[in-house]
Amino acid sequence: MDTCIKINRLSKRYPGETIDSLSGVSLDIKIGDKYGILGPNGAGKTTLISILCGIIEQSSGDAIYWENDAEIEFSKIQQKLGYVPQEYAFYHELTPVQNLEYFGAMYKLSSGTIAKRTSEILQILGLYEVRNKKIATFSGGMKRRINLAIGIIHKPSILFLDEPTVGVDIQSKVAILKILNELNKNGTTIIYTSHHLDEAEEFCNSIALLDNGKLIIKGQTEVLLKEHNAKDLEGLLLNFTGESYRD
């Protein structure tokens, strides 16, 4: 399987800090992976994804996309990337249709493509009937689904998800995971962070475990569980990170 992102000794130290938030992380993510970036609070998960999406710059190291690019050139690959942050990233006073029109235009989609994709996505995510209502009136689960809709309107080749099901009801969680699995079957590589380890164990075929900015283990989920005699991902994580509080 070909590599879509090769991460080489990636590090990040924020201004004014004395230690790295991310320290020398190296990973290969394959095309078609459902790759989980896991770890306790402060592990460096969001920092890593933010660097890979071009939101922040690394302090050292690099990430190579699709093997042929010597370095990240986001102006060339932005159309191929989708990002769904943990925070809501839309305009609350606009409707789902208006938000998707706006973000679709940012990805330089034609008006016809935007209309077609908007209808498709909102129907899949169970939001078509409220497509012209202000998002400010929506429940948390509905807002999470709008967040996802915006991240996939342009059919990205690689989709980054930071806690996509946090704080949602079971129905929204099922709907979100269903569409993510469908996207993956159709060729989208998914890179995902979550504190829901049971969900990650079911969803991710490969994982990397970070702690204090460092890579602890990486590999195929089932293989790692067997190698370390862990009955589940929660046990695996605790084996490597301990049970101390991470506030």
- What residues does each domain of the chain span? 33-57+78-241
pLDDT at 66: 82
Question: Would residue 55 be called left, alpha or beta, if left means φ above 0 and alpha means ψ between -120 and 50 degrees?
Answer: alpha
Element (H, E) at 146: helix 140-152
Between CA 204 and CA 47 the distance in angstroms is: 20
pTM of the model: 0.89
Q: What is the DSSP letter of 241?
A: H
pLDDT at 145 exceeding the cut of 60 = yes
Q: How far apart are the first and last CA of the chain?
A: 38
Architecture of domain 33-57+78-241: 3-Layer(aba) Sandwich (3.40)
pLDDT band at 22 (very low <50, low <70, confident <90, very high): very high
pLDDT at 196 exceeding the cut of 90 = no
What are the counts of helices (DSSP H) followed by strands (DSSP E) for the chain? Answer: 9, 9
Between CA 208 and CA 219 the distance in angstroms is: 7
**What mean pLDDT is predicted for residues 98-114?**
95
